[in-house]
Amino acid sequence: MDFPLFHLDWLNDRFLIAMIAIIHVFINHGLAVGFLPYITLLEQQGVVKSGPEDITDLAWDKMVQRMMMVGFVITTTMGAMTGVGIWFSAALISPNSIGSLIRVFYWGWFTEWIVFVSEVVFIMIYFLTWKNSNKSLRAKQRHIRFGWFLSAFSWLTMAIIVAILGFMMDPGNWVEDQSLLSALTNPIYLPQLLFRTPTAMVVAGAFGFLLIMLFTKKDSPIRPTALKTTATWVLLWLPMSILASIYYYNVIPEAMTANMSTAVGTMDFAKYYDLLKYIILIATSSLALLAIWTLWKPKKVNLIIVIIPFVLSLGFLGIFERVREFIRKPYVIGNYMYSNLIREEDYPLLQRDGILKHSTYTSITEITEENKLEAGKDVFMIACSRCHTSQGINSIIFVFEKMYGEGKPLDINSMKAYIPNMHNGRTYMPPYPGNEEELDALAHYIFYLQQSGATLEGAQSAGAHLNPTHSVEHFIEQKTKQQ
Amino acid sequence: MNNTPLPKDIPLDLPLPEWLLVILLVVSFLAHIVFVNLMVGGSIATLWAEIKGLRNKEYDILAQEIAATITVNKSLAVVLGVAPLLSINALYTIYFYTANSLTGIMWILIIPMVAIVFLLTYLHKYTWEAMANMKLLHIAINALAVAMFLFIPLIFLVNVNLMLFPEKWMSVRGFLSALALPNVFPRYFHFICASLALTGLFITWYMGRKNYPFEEYFQVFTRAKVKRIGYQLALGASVAQFLFGPIVMATLPAKGFSWSMMSVILSGVAVAVYAVYYMIKTLRGSDADLNKYFRRIVISMSIVVVFMGSGRHVYRANALNPHRELMAQKTAEFEQASKEAREQALNKQAEANEAIAAAEASGDNTAKGKAVFNNYCAACHKETSLLVGPPVTEMKEIYTDKKADLIKWIKSPGKKRPDAPQMPPFPQINDTDMEDLTQYILNIK
């Protein structure tokens, strides 16, 4: 309405956001929040296990430093950029919601940013001073203390960003008094934090297993010790992670839970539930098995049995993120803005007048027989394109054919009967925002899409059309008339 | 001539007073751009020095020393970029996001491209010894990084430029057409020269520091020699700005110009002349005096940066303020209309409730249920004929005297008819509504 809309017509717009966000969470949790305390612990262990004359066990320390180097390089490149990428992608796809969130959360984000700058600077200091700190025991101890401090810091970064994420899922009292503080005390906050903290530690352990295998030789004496420390670390955090994930899952408000069936694309509710349980079960138990096996037979650990739980634990984290991304449907900002970027409170106006009348970027001022398809396309772009494509992932043809029969020509009247009630039937979709004529145009357009196999270009390639009643010139003309 | 869009704004207040946001924007942007300059300029300087290093080993050492700073500068460039991004998003939401959207593919490609170029710079830095025998390949890695470092700023420039000109938005079809706007390239070269100038001064400072163990690294080069290299780079690039600056001014559309903007820019130019004068003086002086004017030059160049950054903002404010003013009026009108429509809808709702009450008073006990039905079920069910699911009359046949089963079905439907799709569950219907709804279904005639 207020923006020319970017649209990825095959990949699906939500998919883009989800992909970037999930990579970011892997890196942030696995290689920063959980990783820093884990690495510091290993560094400290090197000092403890070295002889009384040595500062640290040098071979061990070298291994830990190389592990940290992986964390350092990845967090300061892909980690930092996917963090920025969440913004970029969300602003492209949901400009109104990000624009609104920034106005409400400016100070929240500003604080988060200060913490983030400090975090990156501290990580640089920690990593880049590693070599020099090996010159004296005091310097080494200072370095380790700094590592603990850094761990606390990066946890704090997460604690702040989780507040913002939590808010988007459940707005608490924000809509009433629109202030930052009320948004921060929303009910989903603590459960999320409780979930993310131990899970980050566990995922870091999974990364640790992998890196130890890569950076130590098969018969090296430090390998079994390092693996055993990692196994203990994982076993310590794993039960907390499991308990917290159950708790987190249970507090997600009921209506939102009902939407979770859509979180893994097209699967049915029951199937999805099984899948989630399955993945949690398999991922956590495979990690637990690996850890126990390591403690029992540390010399018999090989790369393959390390990689499998690693991949599964990423899957575990990924599926929770994906669920989080989806459970706030139909809202992008709970009870305030729907994911079609329309505010709940503007619905009466738009349903009365039509959405095109209030849209800046459409060439249609009045729907006629001739421009019906064009109008339908614009309605689709505004009302459906944030979640549906024309022919790609979660395409509008696919979802209608699933209801009315695959391959059969869609019935325009049935679609017209369905769409105004789609929110009641499927609560994860926002209510249909437009008026009668637009509904007719939309249904015709969907039928046309099915028959022609046509696709829909976003503003990034097709540019935008201007509604002549939404131009500066028109606005001034109206004002002149009023005088 | 209808071609300047006037959308409505995000209908929420700015998070802090506008003047404060502006200050935050300008200051944080300058901090960000300085590190971007050092990162881009540093990678170019590294490439140059490493190529020269093929013949003279000392240049290779110089290249390695400059390269060591890039990865630190790039991390700072990224993290310092977030604050201006936040501020420009808040201040110019509509303008910035529209430009992003119109150049969307390139805009989002910034993310993977920057991640890759950063990985390349690490690869380049950490393989210096390991690839000593594959020097050309090693240089090629950096050449690729430099190419990307040169391209990425162009995407940003296209966006911050496009956002200034709503009157051009309708003519844009993707990144390339936005790139073709007349003032993009002059601004771009202006930026590249600024990067080189700052990098020159940075090299002079970094390798001239007292606690920098210069003699540990270099056998032949003296501090004076490297400092001169830095000064020369800074001087050359600064002089080039006297060419690009006027071209930028000449190609900028007139709408943002004003006396205040010109006076800010021209003051900056005057200070730049002063700095250039002392750079020349230093270069012509003896090695012993290389530090003599350094502070003076750095301070005056910092002032230039502040003036240019402010002038840039004054231009933007001039260019957009009339449009923003109109947009605010339009947003207010929309809010008013929305409010009226809300009230109207509430009245209608009240009327409908009255109608139901009246129907009930006259003995019809299905009116309420019918409203519930229309709300939730009418998309797929009609009273007497098949739509997506069976008609209500058929429901009555199946469920007469089996109300509990009917409720169970509605809350979690099973799967019966082979060619029908799955009916969605309705756990959200509360008990009283459910009572009314089943009352309606089971009493249909």
Burial class (CB in 10 A: 0-12, 13-18, 19+), B384: exposed
Query: Closest Cα of chain A to B138: distance in Å?
Result: 19
The string of pLDDT tens digits covering residues A78-127 is 999 998 998 899 899 999 989 998 888 788 778 878 888 888 889 999 99
Query: Closest Cα of chain A to B282: distance in Å?
Result: 35
- Sorting pLDDT into bands at 50, 70 and 90, what band is A167? low
Residue B310, number of CB atoms within 10 A of its CB: 19
In a shared domain, residues B175 and B308: yes
In a shared domain, residues B29 and B99: yes
Q: Which pair of tokens denotes residue A52? A: 């009384």
Q: Which of A106, A426, A470 sits opposite B90 (nearest CB)?
A: A106
pLDDT at position A267, please?
39
How many pairs of residues across A and B have Cβ atoms under 8 Å apart? 248
The string of pLDDT tens digits covering residues B264-306 is 999 999 999 999 999 999 999 999 999 999 999 999 999 999 9
Position B342 in a domain = no
Position B76 in a domain = yes
All residues of chain B having their beta carbon less than 8 Å from the beta carbon of residue A110 are: 83, 86
Position B79 in a domain = yes
Cα separation of B44 and B147, whole Å?
9
Average pLDDT over residues B100-112: 97
pLDDT at position A212, please?
96
Closest-CA residue to A46 (of A66, A29, A32): A66
- Sorting pLDDT into bands at 50, 70 and 90, what band is A263? very low
In a shared domain, residues B430 and B318: no
All residues of chain A having their beta carbon less than 8 Å from the beta carbon of residue B80 are: 117
Cα separation of B397 and B442, whole Å?
8
Break chain A into its structural domains and give their ranges: 13-338, 345-476
> From residue A321, how far is each of A24, A36, A316, A426, B70 by CA, in Å?
10, 22, 9, 22, 34
H or E element, residue B268: helix B259-284
Q: Which CATH architecture has domain A345-476?
A: Orthogonal Bundle (1.10)
Q: For chain B, what is the domain count? A: 2
pLDDT at position A106, please?
83
As for the ipTM of the complex, it is 0.90
In a shared domain, residues B416 and B322: no
Q: Which of B82, B171, B388 sits opposite A403 (nearest CB)?
A: B388
Please name the residue of chain B whose CA is at the shortest distance from the CA of residue A111: B83
Q: Which of A254, A404, A422 sits opposite B379 (nearest CB)?
A: A422
Average pLDDT over residues A333-362: 93
Cα separation of A68 and A72, whole Å?
6
The string of pLDDT tens digits covering residues B170-192 is 999 999 999 999 889 999 999 99
Position B233 in a domain = yes
All residues of chain A having their beta carbon less than 8 Å from the beta carbon of residue B424 are: 425-426
pLDDT at position A68, please?
97
In a shared domain, residues B433 and B285: no
In a shared domain, residues B322 and B397: no
The pLDDT of residue A257 is above 60: no
Query: Would the CB atoms of A124 and B72 count as touching at under 8 Å?
Result: yes
Q: Which of B83, B329, B340 sits opposite A113 (nearest CB)?
A: B83
Q: Which of B284, B316, B335 is the last residue of a domain?
A: B335
**For testing the chain B interface, which of A105, A349, A402, A426 should be mutated: the one with the most B CBs within 10 Å?**
A349
In a shared domain, residues B214 and B306: yes
pLDDT at position A349, please?
97
Query: Would the CB atoms of B341 and A352 count as touching at under 8 Å?
Result: yes
pLDDT at position A11, please?
87
Q: Which of B335, B350, B381 is the last residue of a domain?
A: B335
HSE, side-chain direction, 13 A CA sphere, residue A430: 29
- Sorting pLDDT into bands at 50, 70 and 90, what band is A266? very low
The pLDDT of residue B424 is above 50: yes
pLDDT at position A423, please?
81
In a shared domain, residues B262 and B309: yes
Average pLDDT over residues A438-464: 96
Query: Closest Cα of chain A to B274: distance in Å?
Result: 35
The string of pLDDT tens digits covering residues B346-360 is 999 899 889 888 888
Query: Closest Cα of chain B to A61: distance in Å?
Result: 19
In a shared domain, residues B181 and B44: yes
- Sorting pLDDT into bands at 50, 70 and 90, what band is A184? low
In a shared domain, residues B404 and B284: no
Residue A157 near residue A119, CB atoms below 8 Å: yes
The pLDDT of residue B165 is above 70: yes
Please name the residue of chain A whose CA is at the shortest distance from the CA of residue B424: A425
Structural domain containing residue B376: 365-442
Q: Which of A96, A124, A421 sits opposite B379 (nearest CB)?
A: A421
**Three-state secondary structure of chain A:** CCCCCCCCCCCCHHHHHHHHHHHHHHHHHHHHHCHHHHHHHHHHHHHHHCCCCCCCCHHHHHHHHHHHHHHHHHHHHHHHHHHHHHHHHHHHHCHHHHHHHHHHHHHHHHHHHHHHHHHHHHHHHHHHCHHHHCCCHHHHHHHHHHHHHHHHHHHHHHHHHHHHHHHHHCCCCHHHHCCHHHHHCCCCHHHHHHHHHHHHHHHHHHHHHHHHHHHCCCCCCHHHHHHHHHHHHHHHHHHHHHHHHHHHHHHCCHHHHHHHHHHHCCCCHHHHHHHHHHHHHHHHHHHHHHHHHHHHCHHHCCHHHHHHHHHHHHHHHHHHHHHHHHHCCCEEECCCEECCCCEHHHHHHHHHHCCHHHCCCCCCCCCCCCCHHHHHHHHHHHHCCCCCECCCCCEHHHHHHHHHCCCCCCCHHHHHHHHHHHHHHCCCCCCCCCCHHHHHHHHHHHHHHHHHCCCCCCHHHHCCCCCHHHEHHHHHHHHHHHC
| pTM, to two decimals | 0.89
Average pLDDT over residues B57-74: 95
All residues of chain B having their beta carbon less than 8 Å from the beta carbon of residue A258 are: 425, 427-428
Query: Would the CB atoms of A82 and B337 count as touching at under 8 Å?
Result: no
> From residue B374, how far is each of A424, B365, B370, B432 by CA, in Å?
10, 16, 6, 16
Average pLDDT over residues A356-377: 95
**For testing the chain B interface, which of A7, A74, A84, A398 should be mutated: the one with the most B CBs within 10 Å?**
A84
All residues of chain B having their beta carbon less than 8 Å from the beta carbon of residue A356 are: none
The pLDDT of residue A197 is above 80: yes
